[in-house]
Structure 1
Amino acid sequence: MAIWNSMRHLRKPKTARKYPVPLTMHQLWMVSLSAPVNRDRDASRTTLYPFTRIDDEKARRWLADQWEITSRDALAGRLDGLARTGYRVRARQRLGFEPLAWDAGLYVDISRRGFACGLLSEAEAWTALKNIVPAVVRTYGSWKEYAEHYMLGRMVWRDNLRRTRETGLPAPQEAADAHLQSLLDPTNKSSPWNMAPWEAISEPDQAR
């Protein structure tokens, strides 16, 4: 069964074939806000589409199972909530500040999956991503600062889940930390954070 599932996956068209035009520097920067969220091997971090192979159904299932999003209205409501308050307001009680990065990463990840399953058009997805940029730029001055707040936001979120669940917990914090360190590693040429430096979003856009 595992071999059959693998063969089915390989038959799915590559995302790069459907979307061959490379993202501009600004577009890659915006997509990169969600780079910490998904550590799966099939995650794409250099396209608006969230996977390396086209799999609209996977995006649809994930939104429904993880976020109870099955319609455009539900998606719009969830994005609005993350943009306005998200999890960061509750995290403030423990941390003394609001880790916007955690909500921003989720916001961009959900937007990309919404695009993948057809709940958002490509233009609508880019508009959604642009809407979160001003708050992120006002709050952070580097990918390192962004990563630190993302890590802290995830830690509070995971601890809250652990108090209410005995099973089905997300990956340990150590796994998320290692992924963040990989993204921040200056020698990691595949890291989108190295491809699109933090300051790029404040400079004129350009092709890569």
Structure 2
Amino acid sequence: MGLRSLTRWRKPRAERRYPVPLTMHQLWMVGLSAPVGMDRSTSRTTLYPFTRIDDDSARRWLAERWEITSRDKLVGRLDGLARTGYRARARQALGVSPLAWDAALYVDLARRGFGSGMITEADAWTALKNIVPTVAKTYASWQEYADHYLLGRKVWRDGLRGIPDADLPAPQSVADTHVRSLLDPANRTSPWNLAPWDVIFNPDHAR
């Protein structure tokens, strides 16, 4: 295990800083970003984006992946994903508009923005709530959401042709496997199983 890994594991778990469990509605909203983070350091059951407190990683990720270094840039990116995102390109290529891909990125960015300190916890929840009505009325299940997420990801990844392989995101097959694990009824840690799709239409309650 490298020095960086050892340092990460010495950091406190996210639940120690944010001990109150998410409600069912909150878990559903956080679950919208579940397909994005595929590594073990990603948290899928807290608003904080990592299993352990690592604000520096959130800031570094936003700067390197999205060129986001300020609150204004973060808000601008979120607004762009909410309004048009990458689904406009997909509509031109395939005739469909996979909102799920943009929604997953939107929630992931909001969570990392909170983790980096660019926005407050209240701001992050407000951002997530803003996208719920559109997503909830567009899909009828996590399966439909997952299908459109993978479709949007494929269009996005295909648009990166010409970029060196070392700089490309994970192959589509890796994303497929990750999403299948989220949909697997036997996966007791999947937020999609912990907060089924229909819970967002019912009164919120504690887990």
TM-score by length of 1: 0.97
- CA distance in 2 between counterparts of 1:85 and 1:34 reads 18
> Structure 1 residue 10: deviation in Å?
1.6
- Secondary structure of the residue that 1:36 maps to in structure 2? coil
> Structure 1 residue 3: deviation in Å?
3.2
Within a 5 Å distance, the mapping from 1:21-40 to structure 2 comes to: 21-40=20-39
Query: Which residue does 1:165 correspond to in 2?
Result: 163
- CA distance in 2 between counterparts of 1:6 and 1:36 reads 23
- Residues 1:117 and 2:116 aligned together: yes
Query: Which residue does 2:198 correspond to in 1?
Result: 199
Query: Which residue does 1:63 correspond to in 2?
Result: 62
Q: Which amino acid aligns with 1:104?
A: A
Within a 5 Å distance, the mapping from 1:174-185 to structure 2 comes to: 174-185=173-184
> Structure 1 residue 5: deviation in Å?
2.1
- Secondary structure of the residue that 1:9 maps to in structure 2? helix
Q: Which amino acid aligns with 1:188?
A: N
- CA distance in 2 between counterparts of 1:103 and 1:60 reads 20
Within a 5 Å distance, the mapping from 1:134-173 to structure 2 comes to: 134-162=133-161, 164-167=162-165, 168-173=167-172
> Structure 1 residue 9: deviation in Å?
1.3
Query: Which residue does 1:45 correspond to in 2?
Result: 44
CA deviation digits over 1:164-187, x for unaligned, max 9? 313311111000000000000011
Give the count of matched residue pairs. Answer: 206
Runs (4 or more) in structure 1 with deviation over 4 Å come to none
Return 5+ residue gaps in structure 2 as ranges: none
CA deviation digits over 1:114-170, x for unaligned, max 9? 0001111000000000001011011100000000000000000000102x3133111
Within a 5 Å distance, the mapping from 1:65-80 to structure 2 comes to: 65-80=64-79
Cα RMSD for the two superposed structures:
0.8
Identity value in percent? 69
- CA distance in 1 between counterparts of 2:81 and 2:5 reads 35
Q: Which amino acid aligns with 2:87?
A: R
Q: 1:131 to 1:165 in 2, by over 3 A?
A: same
- CA distance in 1 between counterparts of 2:172 and 2:5 reads 28
- CA distance in 1 between counterparts of 2:171 and 2:2 reads 28
> Structure 1 residue 6: deviation in Å?
2.4
- Secondary structure of the residue that 1:161 maps to in structure 2? coil
- CA distance in 2 between counterparts of 1:105 and 1:123 reads 19
- CA distance in 1 between counterparts of 2:19 and 2:169 reads 33
Q: Which amino acid aligns with 1:166?
A: P
TM-score by length of 2: 0.98
- Secondary structure of the residue that 2:178 maps to in structure 1? helix
- CA distance in 1 between counterparts of 2:82 and 2:22 reads 24
> Structure 1 residue 15: deviation in Å?
0.5
- Residues 1:100 and 2:107 aligned together: no
> Structure 1 residue 95: deviation in Å?
1.7
